[in-house]
Structure 1
């Protein structure tokens, strides 16, 4: 008889998302009125299946790609609680194409919503950074990590600039009540990890769509960014980006707030269509221990089809060569004009050893959500350096070429829409918008203002002079009308007149 008790992972995830409410079995799912579709992408060799072991699992990329495009106009959310443990997948282009088609065509043009977990293998995994995984590093997926009890960092989670946010993956609440959900044969089982976190995030997004079915896939991301918070997080590695948003390399923009998500979804106005622009990076420094490249992003015209001022995601596409050990010791940091630092690749911190002889020759995209809301214009820097130079006497990481692609929309073109949706702390100062204007436009504005000022001054003083002249003339005329010539009468004559008056009496 086949033992299937070890293969209940999908059932557990399904229970977290949409287990029935009020049937007395386990806990209700987050979106208990949602409809579920099971898409099987794994295969198990029979000899392992009979023993109830995972070692024989067969991961079929073709099945994954078929699943991610299955009934795009009927399925809203694809909840994927699995990870690829092999970096630099050769069919990465196919994966990216399937995902891009999904967000462009799915849900009748509003975009399929792809939810992925951030992984459970911790710092010891070969893919120690989520940006090395072909699905997680896509700008078309929403990646969620697991937060531990009281906001702690579970030992099994991994870093990644592509991680959008986190949910409570080990317990029902931050306080520590175990998360129990449906299992095989109508049973209940405790469930934890980033798989549970991703399932919970998928259920939360389902509640948002129930509140507003017109949300696009990017609207969903915006609402999550705007409503998540790091206030409950004990892991103190947060930064604040140039748009005032706090983020963390493990938890993205923080813990999901389902209530705030649903409330904001009800009145949310769709963000404009996604645009992108790409710039090549020029290497300005190259040493035995570090490489620095810079990209100067010029302002773009609002009428352009590829004008991004309000950044959502940034992708560093790099052609590189390295040995395995050097690669594991490398950090790649992208720095924005506002000074925000995002580690698009974190060095390996585990205890495994790696081979100097094994070579890596790849072109790979490292994505980041950490610059969300920032302005793209200005100088961007790519810093590549290794962190074990005392151990690595021959650091062989060579970046041959790098490009930076910005994804977002033109804030100048759609300022009123952005202000309507964004909370007050996200609204950039108006000067930040004006800084994107080109020099010749500024000169035209300055000349116009000076001309207007001169005309205004002349008109003002001309009218003032006319008014003063009129008042003076009027005053002069009044004085002339009121002027009386004084008559002096001698004292003797006055005495005589007085005596005459008495005699008459």
Structure 2
């Protein structure tokens, strides 16, 4: 086994925000700003407009985090003046005033983040306090220990073998903590948390997400989406960061994790829960994006999860999918310890193969097109740690990801009782992105509906695999439907996508419901390899025959190649095979011999046959390949952001309210203005003073004139131009 893997536990800190007003967006005094010119330009622009530049959002990018002390920390209105001034800067390419997000930890107490320094070594390079912008992520203590969530999650992963509370799954792993839920949660906060030190951290474990209330439809905003894209492209030396996500605890509210854009992302590995006895937990959310399952709490008679707790204590009461995701993260850490060259997609392939139905009880187990059993409650079943580690040592890297997108329907179609759309697809068969074996399937739709929660939407693959994309959500009364929302299924993994795909949208509520489907697009992801025909090797890792004083391997057995301190069957992505001549002295005789070793490609290449920029064979995701120069372009990350159902609805209502206010208020304001002006002219003509404000302390007051400059900036969206107020007091006459 190689050295321990780094793991970031992002199941994070403190209490959920106290704002419970679901009718308004709350704007903060912070902005995300894209300035490609670099640090110097960002600092100059921030200083010019009175902002504080808190640094880059991403280590390798040009998005910056600005704050302004004279803007209200919370406001129901955006600050247009500050925004426009930044927007007018030529070097500012994009900006967004940050809004407060409501996030929920996925356990049954209001919980938080990790720093349990008495029990494990908290890696400072994998830790940070995003909320307070300092390196100490220690949880905030209070009387009810509400900030214990991350400490409990971290203990499951990496609690050391020291005779306290048991041990973590990967007790040799190093672990870090990110405090990001114990304060204002914005897109920048999430993005910085999910992109912290991605060359040092290998696994990000998250047990939080949008509210599991059965009515929210929300995904990551632009910067958090960018964090995922950058992580899987550049993290872990280009092999891809691994994001492990708790599927959600909204089962009691009939929630569906496909309405959560974090856990239904193809870039996250979504983990569900089962109980000690293999039952579906009462809090479990059934959806087609869940990939695997681990144990957690259940009924009162079933055991819960044992782990570490705050104040040097242990607990036997860790619960929910919050407890399941860290168990999966620990098991994945063991697999990376066995084979650190696995890509993020390799890990998902292995998890599918290492998850088994076993004794898990559910009424929807079904075989997919390649004969694997899959369930909306459990994904492919209970994750087997031993099997995953064994497969990790025998797995050859999967071919690069291919994507094929097909517009199925662009014309509006009425949704009455049931809408069925069938389409034969030969997925990009004549193109370079031809797919033979599926991985993820995304269904992107935009539809309106009078009561969104009454819809059941499903997708059936050419092999007959049925994926329930979303089921009835009785608490979801939204009349706005799904606006450019993406559902995802993993149930057709390794199937051949060629054939007839069927989308069904069914009304399960009142016959008075109605709606319109505006568009439906199918995104297929996979590989050109027939994965079911793949033969598992005896081993892709071998022991090194000889190390140098630095621990670097100098000689491998047989045909294996040197990769650092390991011997591999083939070089991993981002490396190529090169022959090296080494000298060796045996019994006083110096001899030379040739070995095969892995050398790094140019950073722009995914695979290569040499070290330079013009030796690329394939490119990373989001890069384009130039065949003439055998080179790859700089990645251009798509600006994807998940629909925020609540915010979209609020924003629409806000626009309506503003329009109504203008239509009604403008005539009233005009009449008031004319009346006031007429009165002012009359009073001036009679040589009396205008009263703007009075404070009567006697029958007669002396007139005062005060001039003041408006220096306060409450972030209400009004003009910030200098204002002069004339406050006078009118002579008053006693009534006789």
Distance in 1 between residues matched to 2:418 and 2:303, nearest whole Å: 47
Distance in 1 between residues matched to 2:515 and 2:203, nearest whole Å: 39
| Structure 1 residue aligned with 2:421 | 293
Alignment pair present for 1:354 and 2:477: yes
Whose Rg is larger? 1
How many residues are aligned here? 391
| Structure 2 residue aligned with 1:379 | 500
| Structure 2 residue aligned with 1:16 | 156
| Structure 2 residue aligned with 1:102 | 231
Q: Aligned-pair distance for 1:386?
A: 1.4
- Assess, with a 3 A threshold, how the Cα gap between structure 1 residues 113 and 335 changes in structure 2: closer, same or farther: same
| Structure 1 residue aligned with 2:490 | 369
Q: Aligned-pair distance for 1:178?
A: 4.1
Where does structure 2 lack aligned partners over 5 or more consecutive residues?
1-140, 539-736
Say which structure is richer in helix.
1
Distance in 2 between residues matched to 1:112 and 1:202, nearest whole Å: 12
State the Cα deviation string for residues 316-370 of structure 1 (Å, max 9, x = none).
Answer: 01011123xx21011111011111110111112x5x4736xx4346110000000
- Assess, with a 3 A threshold, how the Cα gap between structure 1 residues 421 and 377 changes in structure 2: closer, same or farther: farther
| Structure 2 residue aligned with 1:51 | none
State the Cα deviation string for residues 443-501 of structure 1 (Å, max 9, x = none).
Answer: xxxxxxxxxxxxxxxxxxxxxxxxxxxxxxxxxxxxxxxxxxxxxxxxxxxxxxxxxxx
Distance in 2 between residues matched to 1:216 and 1:18, nearest whole Å: 22
Distance in 2 between residues matched to 1:319 and 1:284, nearest whole Å: 10
Alignment pair present for 1:184 and 2:310: yes
Contact kept, 8 Å, 2:416 with 2:507, in 1: the verdict is no
SS of equivalent residue, structure 2 residue 382? coil
Map 1:225-240; keep pairs closer than 5 Å: 225-240=352-367
Alignment RMSD, CA only? 2.3
Map 1:346-495; keep pairs closer than 5 Å: 346-348=471-473, 350=474, 352=475, 354=477, 358-360=479-481, 362-388=483-509, 392-411=510-529, 418-420=534-536
| Structure 1 residue aligned with 2:170 | 31
Bigger RCO (CA 8 Å, 6+ sep):
1
SS of equivalent residue, structure 2 residue 505? strand
SS of equivalent residue, structure 1 residue 10? helix
Farther-moved stretch of structure 1 (200-209 vs 91-100): 91-100
State the Cα deviation string for residues 172-192 of structure 1 (Å, max 9, x = none).
Answer: xxx955422111111011212
Distance in 2 between residues matched to 1:362 and 1:353, nearest whole Å: 15
Contact kept, 8 Å, 1:284 with 1:293, in 2: the verdict is no
Contact kept, 8 Å, 2:180 with 2:190, in 1: the verdict is yes
Distance in 1 between residues matched to 2:532 and 2:379, nearest whole Å: 26
Q: Aligned-pair distance for 1:200?
A: 0.3
SS of equivalent residue, structure 1 residue 37? strand
State the Cα deviation string for residues 149-175 of structure 1 (Å, max 9, x = none).
Answer: 22101101111111001001128xxx9
- Assess, with a 3 A threshold, how the Cα gap between structure 1 residues 185 and 379 changes in structure 2: closer, same or farther: same
State the Cα deviation string for residues 186-209 of structure 1 (Å, max 9, x = none).
Answer: 101121210010010000000000
Distance in 1 between residues matched to 2:392 and 2:156, nearest whole Å: 22
Say which structure is richer in strand.
2
Q: Aligned-pair distance for 1:254?
A: 0.4
Q: Aligned-pair distance for 1:14?
A: 0.3
State the Cα deviation string for residues 385-444 of structure 1 (Å, max 9, x = none).
Answer: 1122xxx122223221000010000125x887x33479xxxxxxxxxxxxxxxxxxxxxx
Alignment pair present for 1:198 and 2:198: no
Map 1:324-339; keep pairs closer than 5 Å: 326-339=451-464
TM-score (ref. length: structure 1): 0.73
Map 1:264-303; keep pairs closer than 5 Å: 264-282=391-409, 288-298=416-426, 300-301=428-429
Distance in 2 between residues matched to 1:181 and 1:152, nearest whole Å: 22
SS of equivalent residue, structure 1 residue 281? strand
Distance in 2 between residues matched to 1:176 and 1:385, nearest whole Å: 37
Alignment pair present for 1:68 and 2:197: no
Alignment pair present for 1:212 and 2:351: no
Alignment pair present for 1:313 and 2:453: no
SS of equivalent residue, structure 1 residue 359? coil
State the Cα deviation string for residues 31-57 of structure 1 (Å, max 9, x = none).
Answer: 00111111111124xxxxxxxxxxxxx
- Assess, with a 3 A threshold, how the Cα gap between structure 1 residues 176 and 261 changes in structure 2: closer, same or farther: farther
Contact kept, 8 Å, 2:208 with 2:322, in 1: the verdict is yes
Distance in 2 between residues matched to 1:154 and 1:415, nearest whole Å: 33
Distance in 2 between residues matched to 1:177 and 1:90, nearest whole Å: 33
Distance in 2 between residues matched to 1:150 and 1:196, nearest whole Å: 16
Distance in 1 between residues matched to 2:499 and 2:209, nearest whole Å: 36
SS of equivalent residue, structure 1 residue 222? helix
TM-score (ref. length: structure 2): 0.51
| Structure 2 residue aligned with 1:139 | 266
Q: Aligned-pair distance for 1:224?
A: 0.8
Contact kept, 8 Å, 1:297 with 1:379, in 2: the verdict is yes
Contact kept, 8 Å, 2:246 with 2:321, in 1: the verdict is yes
| Structure 2 residue aligned with 1:119 | 248
Where does structure 1 lack aligned partners over 5 or more consecutive residues?
45-57, 423-505
